[in-house]
Each structure stands twice: as C-alpha cells, then as structure tokens.
Chain A
Amino acid sequence: MQIAIIDYGAGNVQSVLFALERLGYSGIVTANKKLIESADKVIFPGVGEASSAMKMIREKQLDEIIRNLKQPVLGICLGMQLLCKSSEEGNATGIGIFDIEIKRFSNELKVPQMGWNTITNLKSKLFNTIKDEEFMYLVHSYYAPDNEFAIATTNYGFHYASAIQKDNFYGVQFHPEKSGSAGEQILKNFLEL
C-alpha cells in the first residue's frame, strides 16, 4: 500500500511515520503531485499556525491537489482544520472541503486544551472497535464547532467536533499517532478503509 504524508514544511511528520511503522506500514513524506495523487491513502498532518501553513500549501499548489483527491484522506489536528472553509487563526482561508468555520476557544478554560480527553458520539468506520469515551491526546487552541459532518465530539466546556467526515475526507482533531494503542487502532482503521 502506498501511503503519502503531505509535506508542506510544517508539522511533526516523523511521529506519523513512526506510528505507521509500528503498524507494519511505511509512508512517504512528499509534496510531489504525482506521488500524492497515485497514493492509496493520504495523510495530511500539521502542527503550527493556520495562516502560515496555508501560505506554504498554496505556494506548493497543494490546496488544488488535495481538493481533487478521490482516495481516503486523513487530516490530523491542524490538517483537519485546514480542510475546513476558514479559521479564526490568522484569518486563514482553508482548503474548503468542509463548510466549517474554525473558531478559537474562549478563555473560560485554559487555552490551549492540552492533554487527554474523551471522544464520544462515534459515527464512522474510522472508529471500528473503538469504545465510546475512549481517551485521545489533544493539543489545540482552535476548534470545529459541532456540525453535520461530525463523526465524534469532545467536551471542553461544551461539545465540539473532534472528528469530521465528508465522502473520502476524514479529519481528526486529536493525535492518533500519540494516543496510545487506541490511537494506533484508529490509524489502522483508516489504512484499512
């Protein structure tokens, strides 16, 4: 299986690669159009700041490539947020697969949310064998409000969408590559889609 991890010069791609290796797969980190388009699965990782990440993505014309992918695509953390329409972070315009506006957490609770929280209302093959209220590792200051594409929600003062899906596009706010064996199972489920 060919697994492409989109490289736009940001993000801790090494952790994703290692997690794939622990599952017995290997991935290639690439910004090459042909390699991304011909891959069986595409992972779109990301940490960092939304507007500067989008700038790098546009410079490499990756936004157009991602938008037209037909195989399963998994956006992780910032990668998930960039698949949405916009983000309050740096007033970024996203790739726009999901008609969702990413918002900043208010300061009623600590920002960033950092640590282990549960995912619930699980509604996707992505969560095969994952129990309701399983713990996942999250670290983020911006979030997707609960919406029609939500396949999991998390409570941080209120319920927000911690995973979303539309057609072949999947997005998770948590880090499956850092969320113990349950996180690895979610990655495995994605690879077996």
Chain B
Amino acid sequence: MNLYETNKKMLTKRIIPCLDIKDGRTVKGVNFLELKDAGDPVELAKKYAVTGADELVFLDISATEERRKTLLELVRKVAATINIPFTVGGGISSVADVDLLLRNGADKVSINSSAVKNPDLINEIAKKYGSQCTVVAIDAKQIDGEWMVHLVGGKVATELSLFDWALEVEKRGAGEILFTSMNNDGTKNGFANGALAKLSELVNIPIIASGGAGSMEHFADTFIKGKADAALAASVFHYNEIEIPKLKHYLKQQNIAIRI
C-alpha cells in the first residue's frame, strides 16, 4: 500500500488543545483578538472546534470547595455548544465524580494522581462506563535514564516506572493514556518521542503525547518518530503561535493521516 492510500482511508491522528480551568475560567493567557472574552472556556472551545481541533481536554486546576459545581456548569455549557468530543480531568477521585461529569455531557474523564493512589478506580470506571471514556493521565520525568511517574503536576516523585504503570493501567481497563513528559513540558523543544515510541509499542491502547510542543515540525515528529495517536498542547494554540488549520495542512503534506 502506498503512502497516499494509507493517508486516504484510515484513522486520523488527533490534534487536541488543552484548556486549564480555574473556577470556571481559562487560566493561561490567551490572545485571540476576535474573542470577546478569551477567559470564557466555552467561547474558546467553540473557536477550537470550528477551526478543526479533533478533541478538547479541560483540566480543572481550581482548589476551592465550590469548584465541582462551577465545573459541572461549565461541562454542561461546553457540551451544549460544541459538536466534537471532550475530556475532563482534574480532581476526579471517585466513581461518583465521574458519574456527574458524564451525565452533564463530558465524553471522557481523565484521572491521574487518584489512579496511582487507588488503582482500582480505573477498573471501577472502566467497568461502569466503558474503557472508551477512561483516560489515565501519566506525568513522568526521566531521572538517571529512568522514566518515573510523578504526581501533583510533577511535583511529587513516586517509585513507579512509567512503562510498568502504563501496562498496569491498560490491564485495568484504561482506554487511552495521556502521557506528559515533565522534562519536555514548557520547553517548546518538542515531545519526548523516544519514551512515546516505546510506550506506543508496549501497550495496545491509544497514546496522547503531551509536553514540549513548540513548532509544527514537533507535531509531525511525535506522530512519526513518537508513534503517538494524538498530540496535545496548550500555550502554542492559546497564544496563536500555531494555528490549527495551518498545522493540519502541514501535517497532511507530510503524509500524516489528518482530518481536514
């Protein structure tokens, strides 16, 4: 099969903007001049959906007691407005949390620290709602050559190896892994393609690459060299450094299967 044919009819690689949410508002600075209120996650989500994002991730980083209620209202508004799938993560620690998010219109939930603390939570979510909505986010840092899982946004080290943990979350029913390299995150020097490729060959569920996006070439690299199924980024999209239509056009030119 030649490249053109493989490109023509197959599952496409996904481009996923990530929105950090605090008390119902987007956190990272956003400079879309055409948006009346760039801090409004719904307006931003709509813009991304229209310009060709394949999925969205909302990461709730607020810490107040009122947070859950605000988040649920937001999830509802996003689900009512956009017609592409979206994942919600941050602070999910029980099946009851998941139930509320899904019932308000989230398509998938992403769990991170709570899965490490209570791995059975993965089984419980997958059993009740299916693997298709169970995303396990893994933050890992390479220390002395070893990729180790970290918690609380990379601040707390664990004894878990990235690859052992990935195999375990797959076995427990995760439908997808969102892997963020703490070494690459914020550098804009590209994704952790070595670890990504190893991860992608080790497990048989989709891998979302996260951390390090700085240029359009980085996205091509993570799909080709990193064998990622999807690539997630925040600031390069929010600051309009990379426009999604241009990025997708570029990737298609590189013979990467992309939805345009």
The stretch of B22-30, B130-138, B154-162 that contacts the partner chain? B130-138
**Are A110 and B229 neighbours in the complex by a CB distance under 8 Å?**
yes
Among A115, A133, A139, A180, the residue within 8 A (CB) of B83 is A180
B176 at the interface (CB under 8 A from A): yes
**Residues of A contacting B130 in the complex (Cβ-Cβ under 8 angstroms):** 47-49, 78
Whether a CB of chain B sits under 8 angstroms from the CB of A175 is yes
Question: How many whole Å from B70's CB to the nearest CB in chain A?
Answer: 18
State the main secondary structure of chain B at its contact with A.
loop
**Are A12 and B84 neighbours in the complex by a CB distance under 8 Å?**
no
The answer, yes or no, to whether B36 is at the interface (CB within 8 Å) is no
Q: Judge whether B105 and A115 touch: CB under 8 Å.
A: no
**Is A181's beta carbon under 8 Å from chain B?**
yes
B206 within 8 A of A: yes
Distance from A86 Cβ to chain B, minimum over Cβ atoms (Å): 19
Q: Is the CB of A18 within 8 A of B80?
A: yes
State the main secondary structure of chain A at its contact with B.
Answer: mixed
Chain A residues whose C-beta falls within 8 Å of the C-beta of B84 in the assembled complex: 137, 178-180
- Collect the chain B residues with CB atoms within 8 Å of residue A193's CB: none
Smallest Cβ distance from A151 to chain B, in angstroms?
Answer: 17
| CB atoms of A12 and B80 under 8 A apart | no
Q: State whether A110 and B12 are in contact (beta carbons under 8 Å apart), knowing that A15-B105, A180-B84 are contacts in the complex.
A: no
CB of A9 to closest CB in B, whole Å: 11
Residue in A115, A120, A181 whose CB lies within 8 Å of B229: A115
Report which of B10, B129, B176, B206 forms a contact with A47, defined as CB distance below 8 A: B129
In the complex, chain B residues whose CB is within 8 Å of the CB of A15? 79, 105, 107
Residues of A with C-beta under 8 A to B127:
49
Contacts of B204 in A (CB 8 A): 107, 110-111
Chain A nearest CB, measured from B162 CB (Å) = 18
B175 touches A112 (CB 8 A): yes
B142 within 8 Å of A (CB atoms) = no
- Which residues 175-191 of B have a CB within 8 angstroms of A? 175-176
B85 and A137: CB pair below 8 A?
yes
Proximity string of chain B (170-214) to chain A, C-beta cutoff 8 Å, 1 when within and 0 when not? 000001100000000000000000000000000011100000000
0/1 string, B115-132, CB within 8 A of A gives 1: 000000000000111111
Complex Cα distance A48/B47, Å? Answer: 30
With CB as the reference atom, state the residue of chain B lying closest to A50.
B130
- B151 at interface by CB-CB < 8 Å: no
- Please give the number of chain B residues whose Cβ is less than 8 angstroms from any Cβ of chain A in the complex: 37
Residues of chain B within 8 A (CB-CB) of A177 are 83
List A contacts of B247 (CB < 8 A).
Answer: none
Q: Does chain B have a CB within 8 A of A129?
A: no
Known: A12-B102, A179-B83. A140 touches B132 (CB 8 A): yes
Cβ contacts under 8 Å, B107 to chain A: 12, 15, 178
Q: What CA separation (Å) do A14 and B86 show in the bound complex?
A: 13
Given known A15-B79, A47-B130, A133-B9, contact A114–B206 (CB-CB < 8 A)? yes
**Which residues of chain A in 22-50 are interfacial with respect to chain B, using CB atoms and an 8 Å cutoff?**
22, 47-49
- A124 an interface residue at 8 Å Cβ cutoff? no
5 closest Cβ contacts across the A-B interface?
A: A14-B105, A139-B132, A116-B259, A48-B130, A155-B9
Binding site for B on A (CB under 8 A): 10, 12, 14-15, 18-19, 21-22, 47-49, 78, 107, 109-118, 120, 133, 135, 137-141, 155-156, 175, 177-181, 183-184
Assuming A18-B105, A49-B127, A156-B10, what are 19 further A-B pairs, CB within 8 angstroms? A12-B102, A14-B76, A15-B107, A18-B80, A109-B11, A110-B206, A114-B176, A115-B11, A115-B13, A115-B14, A115-B230, A116-B11, A116-B12, A133-B9, A156-B11, A179-B83, A180-B84, A183-B83, A184-B83
- 13 of the cross-chain contacts (CB-CB < 8 Å) are A10-B129, A14-B104, A47-B130, A48-B128, A109-B11, A110-B206, A113-B11, A139-B132, A141-B132, A175-B85, A178-B83, A178-B107, A180-B84
Chain B residues engaging chain A, CB cutoff 8 angstroms: 8-14, 49, 54-55, 76, 79-80, 83-85, 102-107, 127-133, 175-176, 204-206, 229-230, 259
